[in-house]
A and B are shown apart, each in its own frame.
With several copies, the nearest count.
Chain A
Amino acid sequence: MRLITAVIKPFKLDDVKAALEAFGVHGLTVSEASGFGRQAGHTEVYRGAEYQVDLVPKLRLEVVCDDDDADDLIEAIASAARTGKIGDGKVWSVPVEAVVRVRTGERGSAAL
């Protein structure tokens, strides 16, 4: 099994979710994140003092999947999240040793 983690632009969530569903993946976990990177942050001004905000809002997606699906899924997520502009994010995968569905205790592929 693999765990695919994707850091994407927030407004791309619906597209990525659709791509996953088209692929037959119906579960994922999303959390809020912020990124530093090439993408520039923004400037805010309060009573004449300018603040440079470098953290850029991102969403962080996690999908556990079968080893065989991993590469295709990474590809699917990356294309769905792509705008072509700096800051589109990263997708990476790590090996998973075990996965359990809490409700039933099922393990492995059956747990997804």
Chain B
Amino acid sequence: MPNSAAINAGDTAWVLVSAALVMLMIPGLALFYGGMVRVKSALNMLMMSVTCLAVVTVVWVLYGYSLAFGPDAGGVIGTLRDAGFSGIGTHAVTGSIPTLAFAAFQLMFAAITAALLSGSIADRAKFGSWIVFVIAWVTVVYFPVAHWVFDPSGWISAHLHVLDLAGGTVVEINSGASGLALALVLGRRLGFKRDPMRPHSIPLVVMGAGLLWFGWFGFNAGSALASGGLASVAFINTQVAGAAGVLGWLGVELRRDKHATTLGAVSGAVAGLVGITPACGSVNPLGALVIGLLAGVAAAYAVGLKFRLGYDDSLDVAGVHGVGGLVGTLLIGVLATAAVTGGARGLFYGGGFDQLGRQALAAVVVGAYAFAMSWLLAKGIDRWLGFRVSRDDELAGLDLIIHGETAYDIAGHTAGVGHRIGQSVSSSQAVPEQDAASAKIRP
């Protein structure tokens, strides 16, 4: 099937690769988060991400794409005309790429943004309630906000003329504010501030962070939706800000804790990458350096707030994504350079306070909307289904209780010893008086 003439193979290749890269961020996030929790709920953490990937994808096909990018209704939301991708075939084009490639790319953004939220409620959420929340949240929060900012006819894009190439508002501030609301509704983990809740596997965290960084090139540079100068500057800015974020966070640690930690290094990387997400297509590499550094520093301080103020945003969604996204979104108003944006300039380059004001307004509106709606949704689900597991289940760990699994069986020579399959199978050997009918191996 020959391509429509409007399709550029190079641009399409880049966007498809970028979509795959963003997809990889979801297992990356799962490992990043999963390594950071205690071993007894590690699988639950993985599952919250994995199910986002599954559930949001299905919702996206059914109606999500259409709400976010279907024909505009008043700058606020898309209509349902494109639900089920009806009428969108292989020849449909968006810009210089197939619409289905664009839809696949944007799908991944929705899925990972939802997955980000799971970090704020580690170790204590009912699994079914989480799934319900995810479906409600993407519908009520993510799709509209994506329409406002990413769709050319959305009100933030069309009227506020906010610069946000890859989602400082849609993804980062949105997830930060929503995560905070979730953490408040669910309350603190048992033992918060008393028991150590240290990462059970930092190599897993590093691996996850590595995949996140790698995928972020698709996230940011892929948002150019074409393969050329804009993608290239977004690419190198991403790299530079991630690097600077590492240095920013480690700097804070060395000053405060006297140790440069591995967890700090990768947390700083994520903070820097978050910071540059909105700005990657508006600043030059030196600007990216500043943004990454400040995002790293700000997030390193922000994560301590939860102990001071007593909310349990367990894996620091607000502290890293909220704060980092805010830093980046605002600093566009300072550091945007006309050589990169092709027009708009920040305060530092003589653009005055105009752009900065627009950026701040968008940040506040998105943050407030996300916080309020997420709080309402979470509260509603809590009333309806309960959102938090019982005390005993939380102490025992969600892996065993909810998923019937444990993460590892490597702790030495009892690995595999002292277990029995079902009842009858082992009993046929050791406990012959038991009833063979209780066999539990299922077809």
Contacts and interface: CB of A to CB of B under 8 A. Distances in A.
Given A17-B430, A47-B303, A57-B412, A52 B257 contact: no
A26 B419 CA distance: 16
Given A30-B418, A44-B405, A51 B196 contact: yes
Contact of B418 (A48, A50, A55): A55
Contact of B257 (A11, A18, A50): A50
Q: Which interface class (under 10, 10 to 19, 20 to 34, 35 or more) fits A? A: 20 to 34
A34 interface: yes
Contacts of A34: 414, 418
A59 interface: yes
A102 interface: no
Interface in B390-443: 395, 400, 404-406, 411-414, 417-423, 426, 429-431, 440-443
B199 interface: yes
Dominant SS among interface residues on chain B: loop
Given A18-B431, A50-B442, A52-B422, A32 B413 contact: yes
A42 interface: yes
Contacts of B300: 48
Contact of A51 (B267, B412, B419): B419
Contacts of B72: none
A44 B303 contact: no
Contact of A47 (B316, B414, B417, B431): B316
Contact of A13 (B267, B316, B418, B443): B418
Interface stretch (B44-52, B126-134, B210-218, B258-266): B258-266
B413 A45 contact: no
B307 interface: yes
A45 B261 CA distance: 8
B414 A48 contact: no
A51 B198 contact: yes
A13 B304 CA distance: 28
A50 B405 CA distance: 10
Chain B interface size, under 10 / 10 to 19 / 20 to 34 / 35 or more:
35 or more
B405 to A, nearest CB: 6
B267 A47 contact: yes
A110 interface: no
Given A46-B261, A48-B257, A51-B196, A58 B413 contact: yes
Interface in A29-76: 30, 32, 34, 36, 42-55, 57-59
Contacts of A43: 404, 440
B413 A52 contact: no
B404 A59 contact: no
Nearest to A85: B392
Scoring A21, A49, A55 by chain B CB atoms within 10 A of each residue's CB, the highest score goes to: A49
Contacts of A50: 257, 421-422, 440-442
A52 B420 contact: yes
Contacts of B405: 44-46
B383 interface: no
Contacts of B412: 32, 57
A106 interface: no
Contacts of B395: 11
A27 interface: no
B404 A45 contact: yes
Interface of B: 196, 198-199, 253, 256-257, 259, 261, 263-264, 267, 300, 303-304, 307, 316, 395, 400, 404-406, 411-414, 417-423, 426, 429-431, 440-443
Given A47-B304, A48-B257, A49-B307, 16 more contacts: A10-B417, A14-B418, A18-B431, A30-B418, A36-B418, A42-B400, A44-B400, A44-B404, A45-B257, A45-B261, A48-B253, A48-B441, A48-B442, A50-B257, A50-B441, A57-B413
Interface of A: 10-11, 13-15, 17-18, 21, 30, 32, 34, 36, 42-55, 57-59
29 contacts: A10-B413, A11-B395, A11-B417, A14-B418, A14-B426, A15-B430, A18-B429, A21-B431, A42-B400, A43-B404, A43-B440, A44-B419, A45-B257, A45-B405, A46-B199, A46-B261, A47-B316, A48-B253, A48-B257, A48-B443, A49-B196, A51-B422, A52-B419, A52-B420, A52-B421, A52-B426, A53-B419, A53-B420, A59-B413
